[in-house]
């Protein structure tokens, strides 16, 4: 018999599976990073924050006290983190901890220390099986791409060119060739506005990438972003998140950063442009008459203060553009800044007229970082330019020395320095009156780029995190209980053979879980169902085999022959039944989505592993028992069925 030589295969498989699964059941260490700024808070506030944290730690975060935290949550740690030790630290829990203690814990620095398996074998890649939102709680948002808005904005940006080309097309003074060129160009531009499904998908892919990056910067553990092709939408799953609106704002933010030149000023030294001066004159007049409330800037501030929304602001600016006859070439913006006090809030302070043409946009910038300027007591953002961007920047700055170059973030002018000399080299910085958060946000917008399409919330759903964690614990216990009962049942009915089946069953589940964990699979409730079915099918395969062996024994065959014959007879039965189930599983993976897919993936892998354990592993062990260890009596069932020709 060859079985002896092959014994290393299952041993190797089980050993590597257990290694893979180690991060799931081992005790883990989590570093909860503490904010540096926390130390600078007034003593009173600090005490309050800490005692809140300690209180919640005892009651909510760790009611069963199976996790250890060092030092005591009442004390500020010496090193810059709290160390949490325990099993089954879920991402939902990590997110909950850091989001509910924002003053104390700095999300981006939290770190689940890798286990040795992850560290040495997988180079730090996390291996633990992820749990779906239905199991650990959190938030699910479906965002629909607003392609109508997208095309209308796109059309706006080509208005000038289209006008020009349409004129050229029917301009009799131009040569045939030039007119033809204009016509072709026009057609090409029009084709930009037609959104084919594949182009929509490409835009969604871009959006997905940016959302991914933004969420990573929030350092949410295990956020998941996936595209729902058939609905032109993006689904975002965030375990354990409860501060929904903030995260949602971050995801949906369509802000851009761009450079625009200010309208040229005339020779007058104090002038900052014709239209700017006109507006300023009018404002001054009102101020001098003591009618401050009637000035445009105060009116605009009121719109902002009352949070009437961007539409109202746009309407207001459009009306002003009309009032002051600002030509199409320019666009009216508002400069936002702080009053003298650096702690004051950012408010619109001044109207600025900029060129409509964009000098440099976000695509030309990259690698932005915020830094603190000691002298000015504020933050600034430095970034580098792409080679193309650097060229453009040099070109603009050398042609426009003395003019102001404004930086527009979203719809706000945040800074408008005068160009002193041409700027070469690939680096630049933006000084504004930034707080830390603003500087970080701006740096993120530059680094990640803007969202290509506006997104609307189609569906938002919360799954209570504590509820989820309870249900997974109970669910897990129930599954383990069921598993134990099945094992006992098999032992009672099939005795020694039952023991072999139990080994096969255990190996089956271990290998299956290891595979899922290797694939980075997210386990959900339907996934659980798939595992239960797998257990059922694995048991079934063994039962079929033993019943066959029983029949062979009953017909008077020798044990060794009965075992061999039993396996052979059962082979195609098991194959057929598994292949049919596999067919339905594969179709479910291909066509189904969400819950169906999760179920089908576990099912399909489960079928493969159970084929391995029942047809290969069980057979090998039975072979060894009968042919190596000389087992001559197999008691299957309650009737004594022993081979008679021993």
Partner 1 sequence: MFDFIKYKYVSISFSAILIAVGFGVTFGKYGGFATSLDFDGGLRAVVEFPENVERKNLEEYFSAKNLEAVLVLMDKDKNDYQIDIGLGSVDQIKQLYIERKGKDSVEAKQASAIDALIGLLQEDFKLEKKKILSANQVGSVVGAELTSTGISLLGLTLFFIMIYLSFRFQFKFALGAILALIHDLVITIAFIGFFQIKPSVPIIAALLTLLGYSINDTIVVFDRIRENAGNLRDTFSKVINLSINQTLSRTFNTSVATLISVVAIIIGGAVELYDFAYVLTFGIILGTFSSVFIAAPLVDIYDTLSQRWKRS
| Residues of the chain by 3-state class (helix, strand, coil), percent to 5 | 55, 20, 25
Q: How far is the CB of 81 from partner 1 (least distance, A)?
A: 24
Handedness of CA 174, 176, 181, 182 (dihedral sign): positive
Q: Pairing mode, if any, of strands 330-337 and 360-361?
A: unpaired
Q: How far is the CB of 422 from partner 1 (least distance, A)?
A: 52
Give all strands of the β-sheet with 233-239 in edge-to-edge order. Answer: 224-228, 233-239, 138-145, 455-463
Handedness of CA 502, 504, 505, 509 (dihedral sign): positive
> Which CB atom, from 401 or from 467, has the smaller least distance to partner 1?
467
> Which CB atom, from 304 or from 589, has the smaller least distance to partner 1?
589
- Residue (of 168, 172, 199, 197) closest to 184 by Cα position: 168
Q: How far is the CB of 87 from partner 1 (least distance, A)?
A: 20
Phi and psi, residue 590, nearest 5°: -65, -45
- Alpha-carbon distances of 219 from 210, 228, 238, 462, rounded to whole Å: 14, 24, 11, 20
> Which CB atom, from 256 or from 522, has the smaller least distance to partner 1?
522
Q: How far is the CB of 581 from partner 1 (least distance, A)?
A: 5
How many C-beta atoms lie closer than 10 Å to residue 626's C-beta? Answer: 22
Q: How far is the CB of 370 from partner 1 (least distance, A)?
A: 29
What contacts 568, CB < 8 A, 6 or more positions away?
none
Q: How far is the CB of 88 from partner 1 (least distance, A)?
A: 17
> Which CB atom, from 385 or from 543, has the smaller least distance to partner 1?
543
Give the pair of three-digit tokens for residue 488: 């006992």
> Which CB atom, from 23 or from 566, has the smaller least distance to partner 1?
566
> Which CB atom, from 362 or from 465, has the smaller least distance to partner 1?
465
Binding residues for partner 1 (CB under 8 A): 60, 100, 134, 230, 242-244, 459-464, 467, 471, 474-475, 477-479, 481-483, 485-486, 489-490, 493, 524-526, 528-530, 532-533, 535-537, 539-540, 543-544, 547, 551, 569, 572-573, 576-581, 583-585, 587-588, 591-596, 599-600, 603, 637
**If you write DSSP's letter for every residue of 535-564 in order, what string do you get?**
HHHHHHHHHHHHHHHHHHHHTT--HHHHHH
Q: How far is the CB of 478 from partner 1 (least distance, A)?
A: 3
- Residue (of 196, 206, 197) closest to 229 by Cα position: 197
Phi and psi, residue 161, nearest 5°: -65, -40
Q: How far is the CB of 511 from partner 1 (least distance, A)?
A: 18
Give the pair of three-digit tokens for residue 95: 């997110």
> Which CB atom, from 15 or from 587, has the smaller least distance to partner 1?
587
Across the strands, what pairs with 460?
141
Q: How far apart are CA 249 and CA 240, in angstroms?
A: 17
Q: How far is the CB of 135 from partner 1 (least distance, A)?
A: 10
> Which CB atom, from 7 or from 529, has the smaller least distance to partner 1?
529
> Which CB atom, from 314 or from 576, has the smaller least distance to partner 1?
576
> Which CB atom, from 339 or from 492, has the smaller least distance to partner 1?
492
Q: How far apart are CA 60 and CA 55, in angstroms?
A: 8
Q: How far is the CB of 284 from partner 1 (least distance, A)?
A: 38
> Which CB atom, from 362 or from 468, has the smaller least distance to partner 1?
468
- Residue (of 336, 507, 341) closest to 413 by Cα position: 336
DSSP 386: -
Q: How far is the CB of 572 from partner 1 (least distance, A)?
A: 7
Three-point CA angle 519, 524, 526, nearest 5°: 110
């Amino acid at each position: 018999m060859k079985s002896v030589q092959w014994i290393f295969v299952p041993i190797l498989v089980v050993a590597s599976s257990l290694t893979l699964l180690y991060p799931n059941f081992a005790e883990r260490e989590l570093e909860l990073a503490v904010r540096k700024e926390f130390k600078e808070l007034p003593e009173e506030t600090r005490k309050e924050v800490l005692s809140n944290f300690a209180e919640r730690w005892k009651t909510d975060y760790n009611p069963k006290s199976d996790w250890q935290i060092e030092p005591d949550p009442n004390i500020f740690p010496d090193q810059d983190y709290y160390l949490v030790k325990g099993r089954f630290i879920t991402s939902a829990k990590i997110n909950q901890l850091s989001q509910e203690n924002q003053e104390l814990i700095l999300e981006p620095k939290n770190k689940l220390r890798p286990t040795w398996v992850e560290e040495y074998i997988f180079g730090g890649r996390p291996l633990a099986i992820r749990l779906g939102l239905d199991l650990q709680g959190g938030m699910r948002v479906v965002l629909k791409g607003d392609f109508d808005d997208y095309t209308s904005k796109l059309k706006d940006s080509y208005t000038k060119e289209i006008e020009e080309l349409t004129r050229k097309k029917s301009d009799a003074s131009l040569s045939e060739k030039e007119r033809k060129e204009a016509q072709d160009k026009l057609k090409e531009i029009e084709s930009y506005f037609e959104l084919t499904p594949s182009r929509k998908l490409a835009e969604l892919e871009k959006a997905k990438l940016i959302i991914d990056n933004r969420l990573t910067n929030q350092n949410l553990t295990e956020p998941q972003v996936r595209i729902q092709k058939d609905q032109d939408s993006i689904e975002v799953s965030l375990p354990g998140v409860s501060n929904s609106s903030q995260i949602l704002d971050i995801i949906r933010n369509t802000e851009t950063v761009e450079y625009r030149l200010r309208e040229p000023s005339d020779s007058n030294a104090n002038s900052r442009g014709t239209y700017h001066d006109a507006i300023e004159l009018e404002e001054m007049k009102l101020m001098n008459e003591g009618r401050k409330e009637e000035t445009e800037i105060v009116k605009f501030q009121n719109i902002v203060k009352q949070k009437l929304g961007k539409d109202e602001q746009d309407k207001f600016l459009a009306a002003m553009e009309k009032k002051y006859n600002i030509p199409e070439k320019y666009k009216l913006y508002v400069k936002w800044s702080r009053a003298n006090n650096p702690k004051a809030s950012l408010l619109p302070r001044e109207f600025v007229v900029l060129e409509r043409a964009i000098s440099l946009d976000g695509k030309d910038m990259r690698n932005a970082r915020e830094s603190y300027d000691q002298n000015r007591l504020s933050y600034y953002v430095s970034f580098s330019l792409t080679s193309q961007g650097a060229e453009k920047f040099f070109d603009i700055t050398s042609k426009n020395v003395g003019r102001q170059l404004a930086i527009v973030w979203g719809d706000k002018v945040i800074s408008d320095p005068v160009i002193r000399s041409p700027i070469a080299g690939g680096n630049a910085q933006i000084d504004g009156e930034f707080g830390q958060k603003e500087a970080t946000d701006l740096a993120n917008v530059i680094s990640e780029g803007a969202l290509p399409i506006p997104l609307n919330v189609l569906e938002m759903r919360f799954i209570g995190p504590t509820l989820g964690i309870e249900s997974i614990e109970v669910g897990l216990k129930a599954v383990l209980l069921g598993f134990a009962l099945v094992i006992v049942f098999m032992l009672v009915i099939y005795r020694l053979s039952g023991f072999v089946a139990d080994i096969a069953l255990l190996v089956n589940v271990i290998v299956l879980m290891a595979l899922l964990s290797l694939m980075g699979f997210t386990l959900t409730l339907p996934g659980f169902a798939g595992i239960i079915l797998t257990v059922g099918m694995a048991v079934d395969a063994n039962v079929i085999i033993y019943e066959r062996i029983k029949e062979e024994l009953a017909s008077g065959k020798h044990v060794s022959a009965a075992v061999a014959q039993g396996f052979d007879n059962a082979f195609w039965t098991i194959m057929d039944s598994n292949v049919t189930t596999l067919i339905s599983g594969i179709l479910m993976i291909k066509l189904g989505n969400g819950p169906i897919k999760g179920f089908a993936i576990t099912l399909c892998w489960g079928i493969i592993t159970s084929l391995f354990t029942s047809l290969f592993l069980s057979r090998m062990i039975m072979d060894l028992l009968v042919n190596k260890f000389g087992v001559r009596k197999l008691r299957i069932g309650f009737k004594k069925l022993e081979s008679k020709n021993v």
